[in-house]
Structure 1
Amino acid sequence: MNGGTSMTTAVRLGVRRGWIEFRQTVTNAEDVMGAIIPVAILLVVLVFMRDATVPGTTFSLGATAVPGVLGMSLVYSGMVGIAAWLSVDREDGTLLRAKATPNGMVGYLVGKVCATSASAVLMLLLVLVPSLFLFEGLATGGARAWLTLLWVLAVGLLATLPIGAALGSLARSPRSMGLIMLPFMALTGVSGVFYPITALPEWLQWVGQAFPIYWMGLGMRSALLPDTMAAVEIGESWRHLETLGVLGVWAVLGFALAPALLRRMARRESGSAVAARRERAMQRVS
């Protein structure tokens, strides 16, 4: 089998693997509840915010926060989700088994990207569909609104999945994920998810704009909120070109870093390394 055919086979098997992993996730009761409970809590919080209004407007603060929550969940799925999977599979030897087969790492990564993307879309729907019934004024732009949502979704996943893979390659174990979660939670607070970023000090606005969460939220707001709500944004504009540009920079950065870091991680995987991690885990348990 030549290299091209082998690579094509690996990609095809990776897509199939991704679908199987996603199907297992949505048919596992614990995984389903783990997805539904946080969504339900978020929706309850947003409903309590429904009667409050965005300063200077009569529009519901809860409805305004919905697109920001969608953007946050997509970034979380793209960055933290795939990073967590990589760290777990590294510790239990799954990565070592993938490394041992021809183009196994390619198939493994394609599968993780497909499974993570499908999970991200599912999470988006779990929040968006109930929100359309709970809040007035969402997605009133017709076909244009849905097209905007689709391109923001696609570019956002391109921007976050490679970064998540890079972060996952650096995590020594699942216990290291706290080092990724803490910065993510801090950035969420300064990214205008639950309240317009223009209410923050200017220096925090610049911090928020340096990372994908703000731009994903802005893109989702441009798709789902009335055009009049752009008045509370920076520059009183949805800034589509800037959104595409910043997310594009993050995508380029991710695609530049992830392959090298993943190759380095794969080179370091060996039977003795996996055995040593298991031994340390057993010592912690005992």
Structure 2
Amino acid sequence: MNGVRVGWARGLIELRQSFTNGADLLGHFLWPGLMLVALFFLRDREFAGTGFALGTLALPSILGMNAAMGMVSMSQHLTADREDGTLLRAKATPDGMRGYLVGKVVSVAGGLIADLAILLIPGLLLVDGLDLAPASWLTVLWVLVLGLVATLPLGAILGSVFPSARAQGLVQLPVLGLIAISGIFYPVTALPDWVQWIAQLSPIYWLGLGTRSALLPDAMVAVEIGAAWRQAETVAVLGVWAVLGLLIAPLVLRRMARRESGSSVATRRDRALQRVG
């Protein structure tokens, strides 16, 4: 419990600092800003003559996608902290690793919630036709919570596996590819069947589907696979990802922590200085 308390306090401090640091503040507003630009151009476009506006379809999907991007943020933070020795210092203190991980979950999840608010508030002014009943927001809540539980451990695994910040491009490119085929900006039913199957293997598709099921009118289910919201399947798939992540992440993190040493941090620092030089 001491590690949890320390981690909670650490996470809140990191979250607060991210809104006072210029670079972090730009990161909070840049991605939501780009998504709002995309919504602006999609707001009056219809999907295949159905009368359904792509902007209305896309806004709930983007909320789910942003939650899935938490795994990229977690991976980047973990890799950066390995390189600068933060992780080694946490390893050397009592309950340090537990506190470190709790802090990262708090700061990354808190930052994602803030980013969702930055996107959602002006987004509601751009598009029409959403179902904003209280029950819809309850569905959004459980989808996002389950999605974070499913994706943040995956981010910790990726951050443990990839040894440097430069290797993070190997994480981001596949994630961007999955976003492109997961029905976020255009209904997945417009894609070939084999692409639809690939999309349904990732949590990104199910997060987008879950938020669409919450905020879109029932008539818009016609553009989904099987013309159904499939909330039970959403719970099942995200639940499987969550269980796998929670089982594998501690093993990978412990293995990574055992391999951290002062010499490994110094080696990475020297390599970074040589690249700069």
- State the TM bucket, normalised to the shorter chain: over 0.9
Asked if 1:100 corresponds to 2:92, the answer is yes
Q: Deviation at 1:146?
A: 0.5
2:69 corresponds to 1:80: no
1:115 matches 2:78: no
Task: Name the counterpart of 1:246.
Answer: 237
Please, which of 172, 190, 196 is the counterpart of residue 181 of structure 1? 172
8 A Cα contact 2:39 2:126, kept in partner: no
| 1:134 equivalenced with 2:97 (yes/no) | no
CA–CA distance in 1 between the matches of 2:42 and 2:243? 37
The alpha-carbon deviation at position 268 of structure 1 amounts to 0.3
Q: Deviation string for 1:109-145 (max 9, x for gaps)?
A: 00000101101111111111111111111233x1110
Instruction: Give the equivalent residue in structure 1 for 2:10.
Output: 17
Gaps of 5+ in 1: 1-7
- Matched residue of 1:192: which SS? coil
Paired amino acid for 2:250: P
How far is 1:283 from its partner?
A: 1.6
Matched, 1:192 2:183: yes
Question: In structure 2, the residue corresponding to 1:102 is in which secondary structure?
Answer: coil
Name 1:232's counterpart in structure 2. Answer: 223
CA contact (8 A) 2:39 2:123 kept: no
For 1:57 and 1:283, locate their aligned partners in 2 and report how far apart those are by CA, in whole Å: 57
Question: How far apart, in 2, do the equivalents of 1:48 and 1:199 lie?
Answer: 19
Partner of 2:268 in structure 1?
277
Amino acid at match of 1:192: G
- Given candidates 190, 194, 202, the residue that maps to 2:193 is 202
What is the distance in 1 between the residues matched to 2:181 and 2:170? Answer: 18
Deviation at 1:27, TM superposition (A): 1.8
Q: CA deviation at 1:157?
A: 0.3
Structure 1 position 55, deviation (Å): 2.5
Counterpart of 1:137, as a letter, is G
Q: Does 1:62 align with 2:36?
A: no
Residue equivalent to 1:44 = 37
For the 8 Å contact 2:11–2:102, the answer to whether it is kept is yes
Hey, what's the Cα distance between the residues in 1 that align with 2:78 and 2:31?
22
Q: CA deviation at 1:56?
A: 4.6
- Taking the aligned partners of 2:89 and 2:192, their CA distance within structure 1 comes to 50
Partner of 1:223: 214
When normalised by structure 1's length, the TM-score is: 0.95
CA deviation vs aligned residue, 1:164-188 (integer Å, no higher than 9, x gap): 1011011101111001011101111
Task: Kindly indicate whether residue 151 of structure 2 is the aligned counterpart of residue 151 of structure 1.
Answer: no
Percent of paired sites with the same residue: 56
Size of the aligned set, in residue pairs, is 277
State the Cα distance separating 1:17 from its structure 2 match: 0.3
Three-state SS of the structure 1 residue aligned to 2:69 is helix
